[in-house]
A and B are shown apart, each in its own frame.
Chain A
Amino acid sequence: MIDSAVRVALLYPELLGTYGDRGNARVLLQRLAWRDIPAELVEAPWGEPAPASCDIYVLGGGEDSPQASAAAALIAEGALHRAVDGGAAVLGICAGFQILGHSFFGPDGAVRPGLGLLDCTTARRASPRIVGEILVEPDPAVALPALSGYENHAGLTDLGPGAIPLGRVDVGVGNGDGTEGAIGGRVVGTYLHGPVLARNPALADRLLSWVAGDLEPLDDAEVDDLRKERRQFVSAEAARWPNRKREAPFGWRGYRRRRMSSIDRPSEANFSV
């Protein structure tokens, strides 16, 4: 057991919070509360010093320009780097995942430095934008049940040797090379919205166990029903469009996506990551 409250920081929700990813913080806190583990939510608004003493940091998805602002602020402050050095866990979603890497591209298409907390770079753009349900079969080393979510991004991410992917894409696109997300140490990045921790309680508990030790199991029957429904949905859609699976370069790409016409350098025609 831990002696003080687990502090969960929601970083710049007004910049990195377009897709309901604040829900990840809600899930972490509630799963602690259900186990009678004291917990505290620390909202870190943009423009104020980010806290360096939290246990878990959550960064959500956002649009290009706010993403660049968030990265610049976090690099200038160094609070997140200090927290990671001190053993904190980090979960970055979509735009939040991309800025954890070495580089990403900004609203003008130019390469921007990332925080370098994950060994990855986001330099390629998919056109059209990747939007749809995603199902991921986790890497055996990650030892998690299948990951379910919803992806909505144009950036594609390449991993370096210092990170391993969360898993292989079963349905969807993810990083763009058949893998999805990244883990290095206690830093996790993923393209999955949903929010990801609401749909994947085992991933939530993994993050929590890093900072709060062994956890009692919870009754997740209601989430299991949702996971089952989503899995059936993506299987049915994949069966409805069997040809797409063969056509697509990186696995079946979602029932409402058109064919990926190009994967190339960033262009201004594609408006967002």
Chain B
Amino acid sequence: MSELRQTVIRMLARPAGSIGFAIVALTLLVAVTAPLIAPYDPAAIAMAKRFAAPSFDHWLGTDHLGRDNLSRVIHGTRLALTIAFPAVLSAFAAGLLLGLVAGYVGGLIDRVLTVIADTFLSFPSVILGLALLTLVGQSVLNTTLVIALSLFPYYLRLARGLALSTRHQPYIKAERSLGAGRGRIMFLHLLPNMLPPLLVVVAMDIPSAIVIEAGLAFLGLGVPPPAPDWGVLLNEGFVNVAISAWPLVGPLMAIIFVTTGFTLLGETFRDIADPRLAGLGRRTGRFLMRRAR
């Protein structure tokens, strides 16, 4: 517990960390309290007030159906996180477990799991998402699963690499010679040592998941209406941009704001968790994969 507190304190001590932390905290607060702080029902249509410019009643104006832009962005925050968190966490859990097994057990299981992961990796996330969502249909659950599917191979390859490099460490060999079983070695000894670098990737992947989801929705394959998805708001705003640019402002700022926040937080966390990686760019996972080989 004290280690966690220490990590948090060290993160907040850095400017990027404190800014990231503040943005993420604010985002979470907005998401949790969305129904309380949104001035209007995000789906309430008012045809008489279409494309209104910002005013005291509608701080960010209204969209093509007279819906309040601000309320839609606020509710969209909740939706974005509702999809991004479970998607990344389930990708992380599945990738970690399968990667650990593949790396430690090796052999046929390793080869099969690696081929599966490589197959998914060969598709760009959005293309894979488009194909799968066309097959299974649009819903919050399906979008979450599709994003998780597109992210889990990274975790699998990363976890496998870490397991491979750790299994030959003297302390693991010692444990094995003491007669410890596979399960005990994997979950008690390998796992705790693999978590920090993986958690860094989790923090960095939240914005990726948000952007993938918004991208799918922008292309018309996200969460079905009337959900105020940021990607949908961008799409609708883009179609009518010549009439009014205000519907675009909210979702655009929200995506920039939230992805910046999570990225700053993730990068600070990475610097603290593994100083060797400090200053490296995004996609730490890929770097680690290469390192693991």
Tell me if chain B binds chain A.
Answer: no
Interface residues of B (CB under 8 A from A): none
